[in-house]
Every structure is written in C-alpha cells, then in structure tokens.
Amino acid sequence: MDWRTKLLNPTPRARLDFKSLATPVYRGSTVVVDNQASVKDDWQQAEKGYSYGLYGTPTTLELASRIADLEGARHTFIVPGGQAAIALVYLAYCKAGSHALVPFSAYGPNQEMAEGLLRGMDIEVEAYDPLIGTGISKMIRDNTTLIWCESPGSVTMEVQDVPAIVEAAHTRGVSVALDNTYAAGVLFDAFTHGVDVSVQALTKYVGGHSDLLLGSVSVRDDNAYEVLGPIYRQLGLAVSPDDCSLALRGLQTLPVRLDQLEKSALEVAEWLAMNDYVDAVFHPALPSCPGHSYWKRDFTGSASVFSFTFKEHISAESAEAFLDALKIFKIGLSWGGVTSLAVVYPDLNRPNKDFGGRLVRLNIGLENAVDLIGDLKNAMGDL
Ligand SMILES: *Cc1c(COP(=O)(O)O)cnc(C)c1O
C-alpha cells in the first residue's frame, strides 16, 4: 500500500483492554458496518445498535443512561442545552391548533418560544399562575396537549403543587412536562410525582463548572418515548462527546457539590432574611418563599439558587450600585457552577407583582459562606 493509503488503513497495535474509570470520548459521525445489508439509519441506537453519530456515541449514550438511572426514567435524550430540551418537548407534544399551558414563572426563553416560534406555527401557549394547583382544571381545553411545570420557577422561585397539576392533566389525557433543572434530577422525584417528561439543563448542576452546555429530556414510559423519539431525530439535536465526557465527570461529584451548596445557600439566605435592607427572601426552604409548603412536602433538599428583594425605599439604581460593589460574587447569568453569582433583573415583572428593579438573584458557589456574607454586607454598606 502507498503510504497515503496506509494512513487511512492502519494496522492497529494498541491494546484495547484499558479499563479506565473514565468513560472514553468517542468522536464520530460515520459508523462503519461489516456489509451492505447491515447499513441502517435508526435513531434507536440504545436498543438496535449504532448507525450514525448524530443519534449518539457510546459517550453520549452512557451519559443518557446515567441520567435515566438517576431520574428513574425509561429513557433519556441528550440535547445541546436546556433550551433545546424545552424546544424538543414543545415540538413533540404540540402541532398547529394545539393549546399548551406554561407557568408565568417559567424560564424566560421558554416563554419567548411560546410567544415567537410557536405562535407562528399556530400553537397557542397560555401562561398560568404557578401557584394555581388544582385550579389548572379550568384552563384545560379540548385541544390542550401539554402542560409545563417548572418548580421552583425561574428567578421568582414559586414552588408548584406538581402532583395536583398532574392529576388535573391526566384526568383530561394531557401530558405534563417538568423543567427539573433546579432539582438536578434528584431533589424532586419527577416520575414518582406523576410527571411524563422531565427536562434538565445539564449546563447547571450536572456540568457543575460553567464549562459546558447540555440538556436532557427524560421520559417516564414507552408512550412518551414514542412521542419524543421521532422529533428528536428530525430536529438533528447532536451533542459533542467532549461535553458529555465533562458531564459524566460532573455526575461523580454531584452529591458533594449539592450538599455543600445547600448548606452555604441556606446560611446566606438566612442571613439575608434578617437583614434590614431586605424585604423578602425567595428560597424554597424558607417560609417566605411562595409555595414553601409544597417544597417541604415534595423535595428532599434545596439547591444553590434563590432571590431576594430589597425594601421599597431602596431604588433600582441603588440595587444596581449594590451589585457593582460586590467583590467575591461575580455578576452574571446562569447558575449551578462553583462560583457565586449575582444579577439584578431590572425589568422583571409578574402579572401579580412589579419588582421595581429591586429583585436580586443569587447563585451560591463553593466559596466560604462567611466570606460571601461579608461581601454582601460590604456592598450593602454603600446603599
Ligand atoms: C438555564 C436554564 C435552561 C436553559 O439551559 P441552557 O443549557 O442554558 O440552554 C432551562 N431551564 C432552566 C430552568 C434554566 O435555568
């Protein structure tokens, strides 16, 4: 063979019996088969064997199966991010003429998709009060195909009565999808509480180090698997095995990170609750959080992200100055990593409340909680 040909037709000499504790990173688009009769193009690779890298590699499918195990799911789809996971669920469960319900505390881009892409496709997505509970029955129509829950909600942290919503939905044959990112798939058991589809931004706690973007869509049964699978394939939601490898690493330390983050976040939240400048702390484990009783009933712990509001006499400009005065907390969106973050939502309003630019969302990281409290205290000194 010419050396050029030989480069592409190597004689492998490296031993393959390397038993690493780490899942190898398999990169690949094409899957080579033994003969023409074996060529197939089936996305159900977990069951039917590998056909094409788009539907997953051994690295991707390993991550998928570990998330499925963690959540007690029938199957998990890994997608490029949490928002892609949300899009996949909408597009699988809604078609032209469908009606869907989403809490007004849902992740912003979820609501944007409802108002944008979906509206253009003649899919009506109606917002509901996250604390509606069984009252959701009245909003279900004959053409309702999907109800979203997100508990606690983004930024305003309302904890939902998910079992009540599930019961009302299932009575009318409607599927329930939960954005379970806050719970990291563990602090709230979605499937035991009746949810059909559980979504996570793996970007947050599973990744855990602010260095990757991935999402997961986990299904409770064959029914949901059949609804989502073909749409997952049609959308071509490929993910990088390198990112999946980082997520697999993140999973190994998830328990210790969650434990420490919970402790520190509670310490900071409890300090804020006693602070003279602070009006309310929206931390699910504190009674001041809307829906706290559902958290107590349904969750096994709390996580690192929560919000607080300044009292009325603190202006939006002062809230901004407070943020700029922080030294240890970094200013930034997202959460679930090891670094403490703070951000003000100047325009955030809910149908039932105007926050007047006085709401601050915090993500607590792995810094010493005493230092974090000191940082908040110093920054408040300038108010
Ligand atoms: C961050 C987030 C998402 C989106 O995740 P990305 O990976 O950034 O696309 C979805 N839902 C919730 C609740 C989130 O916090």
Residue 113 CA, ligand 1 centroid: distance in Å: 13
**Quick check: CB of 181 below 6 Å from ligand 1?**
yes
Residue 91 CA, ligand 1 centroid: distance in Å: 17
pLDDT at 289: 98
CATH code that applies to domain 254-382: 3.90.1150.10
Written in H, E and C, the secondary structure of the chain is CCHHHHHHCCCCCCCCCCCCCCCCCCCCCECCCCCHHHCCCCCCHHHHCCCEHHHCCHHHHHHHHHHHHHHCCCEEEEECCHHHHHHHHHHHHCCCCCEEEEECCCCHHHHHHHHHHHHHCCCEEEEECCCCHHHHHHHCCCCEEEEEEECCCCCCCCCCCHHHHHHHHHHCCCEEEEECCCCCCCCECCCCCCCCEEEEECCCCCCCCCCCCCEEEEECCHHHHHHHHHHHHHHCCCCCHHHHHHHHHHHHHHHHHHHHHHHHHHHHHHHHHCCCCEEEEECCCCCCCCCHHHHHHHECCCCCEEEEEECCCCCHHHHHHHHHHCCCCEECCCCCCCCCEEEECCCCEECCEECCCCEEEEECCCCCHHHHHHHHHHHHCCC
pLDDT at 225: 97
Q: Match domain 42-248 to its CATH number in 3.40.640.10, 2.60.34.30, 3.30.1330.10, 3.20.20.70.
A: 3.40.640.10
Residue 155 CA, ligand 1 centroid: distance in Å: 12
**Quick check: CB of 215 below 6 Å from ligand 1?**
yes
Report pTM: 0.97
Residue with CA at minimum distance from ligand 1 atom 5: 82
- Block mean pLDDT (10 aa), the chain, length 383: 94 90 96 93 91 95 98 98 98 98 97 96 98 98 98 98 98 98 97 98 98 98 97 96 98 98 98 97 98 98 98 96 97 96 93 93 98 98 80
pLDDT at 339: 98
Domain boundaries, given as residue ranges, for the chain: 42-248, 254-382
**Quick check: CB of 148 below 6 Å from ligand 1?**
no
pLDDT at 352: 83
Position in ligand 1 atom list of the atom nearest CA 182? 13
Position in ligand 1 atom list of the atom nearest CA 213? 7
pLDDT at 382: 67
**Quick check: CB of 107 below 6 Å from ligand 1?**
yes
Residue 16 CA, ligand 1 centroid: distance in Å: 38
Residue 313 CA, ligand 1 centroid: distance in Å: 33
